[in-house]
């Protein structure tokens, strides 16, 4: 989340005139993140998040994202809920951008991840996957295996600027993943970007999941793989098997993971690592000078990719 589009007092007043949210008491931009412009909005009716969707978000995907949040919230998942205006619409325009207001969630993202955070995450992830059943809209994962080669080709010629030989290593890994990517695993709606900054806690209790703007339909186990990469490595790149065990055991307590999913988990984790490596690599090489949001280090995910390439079974993730 970040601020790329400034909203004037006049624009805000005209926009909020379409809602029954009372008077504005505070309005402040949120600096974190990379995709959209986000503002914390306080009114006499409560606290909300106002989001302006920037160019990297396809407008045709917004009904999926907003509808999914409403669907999940209606099934007991702690996530933002889109707010309708007096006309019943949840999506409208502000400053030339599609925009929406969602409810505010209390809690903090963990600055340091502990095993108990991973336990809460595993249970919440399984609950979200189960709650997603029956959601009528569908969105394909544009950043799954079929989307990785175009990403690679967009950065390959300059990858040596990040590390000599990086393009050749990624080319080899991409070819192996394309040839061996699993088929027929259980599918459903996944978050696809469930990093610690998208999960709120109050103490050790998970209080909410946010930022569904990469959500899509894909293998449920791929979402688990994303979380293994995002939550279970230490700052020195060491894999924390205790965190992985807590995450997976809590997930399995709510939604059983099939033997085929477990067998595919190392490959899915490699794919997840490659996906985030490639998007970070592109952003690193194409970062606008003077931009307020610093690009994330792609080599963090090269280390994770190499770890999963050596994994031979779920025992490496703390499971029998």
pLDDT in tens, 105-156: 999 999 999 999 999 999 999 999 999 999 999 999 999 999 999 999 999 9
Strand locations in the chain (E): 24-29, 37-43, 46-52, 92-94, 97-103, 187-190, 199-202, 205-209, 216-219
pTM, full prediction: 0.94
* Averaged pLDDT, 29-48: 86
Per-residue pLDDT at 75: 97
Which class is 9-103 in CATH?
alpha beta
CATH node for 115-317: 3.90.1200.10
H helices within 7-97, ranges in order? 9-16, 62-74
Q: C-alpha distances in angstroms, 164 versus 168, 169, 275, 305, 313? A: 9, 10, 20, 17, 31
Domain ranges of the chain: 9-103, 115-317
Tell me if 9-103 shares its fold with 115-317: no
The rounded distance, in Å, linking the Cα atoms of 104 and 304 is 33
Q: Is the pLDDT of residue 181 over 70?
A: yes
pLDDT confidence tier of residue 56, bands split at 50, 70 and 90: confident
pLDDT tens per residue across span 206-255? 999 999 999 999 999 999 999 999 999 999 999 999 999 999 999 999 99
Exposure string over 216-246, b if 16+ CB within 10 A, otherwise e: bbbbbbbbbbbbbbbbbbeeeeebbeebbbb
Report the range of poorest mean pLDDT among 54-58, 227-231, 283-287, 291-295: 291-295
> Which backbone phi and psi does 87 adopt, to 5 degrees?
-85, 0
* Averaged pLDDT, 286-291: 69
The rounded distance, in Å, linking the Cα atoms of 238 and 250 is 22
């Amino acid at each position: 989340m970040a601020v790329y589009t400034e909203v004037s007092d006049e624009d805000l007043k005209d926009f909020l005139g379409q809602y029954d949210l009372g008077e504005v008491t505070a309005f402040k931009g949120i600096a974190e993140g990379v995709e959209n412009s986000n503002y914390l909005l306080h009114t006499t009716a409560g606290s909300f998040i106002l989001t302006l969707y920037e160019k990297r978000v396809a407008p045709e995907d917004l009904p999926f994202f907003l509808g999914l949040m409403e669907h999940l919230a209606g099934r007991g998942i702690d996530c933002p809920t889109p707010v309708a205006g007096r006309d019943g619409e949840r999506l409208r325009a502000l400053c030339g951008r599609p925009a929406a207001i969602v409810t505010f969630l209390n809690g903090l993202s963990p600055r340091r991840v502990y095993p108990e955070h991973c336990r809460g995450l595993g249970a919440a992830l399984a609950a979200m996957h189960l709650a997603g059943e029956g959601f009528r809209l569908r969105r394909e994962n544009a950043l799954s295996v079929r989307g990785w080669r175009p990403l690679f080709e967009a950065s390959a010629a300059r990858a040596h600027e990040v590390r000599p030989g990086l393009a050749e290593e990624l080319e080899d890994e991409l070819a192996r993943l394309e040839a061996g990517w699993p088929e027929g695993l259980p599918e459903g709606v996944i978050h696809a970007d469930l990093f610690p900054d998208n999960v709120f806690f109050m103490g050790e209790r998970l209080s909410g999941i946010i930022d569904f703007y990469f959500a899509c339909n894909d293998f449920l186990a791929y979402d688990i793989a994303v979380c293994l990469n995002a939550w279970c490595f230490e700052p020195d790149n060491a894999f924390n098997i205790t965190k992985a065990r807590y995450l997976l055991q809590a997930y399995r307590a709510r939604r059983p993971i099939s033997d085929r999913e477990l067998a595919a988990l190392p490959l899915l984790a490699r794919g997840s690592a490659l996906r985030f490596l490639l998007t970070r690599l592109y952003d690193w090489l194409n970062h606008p000078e003077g931009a307020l949001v610093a690009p994330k280090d792609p080599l963090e995910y090269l280390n994770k990719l190499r770890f999963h390439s050596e994994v031979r079974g779920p025992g490496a993730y703390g499971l029998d």
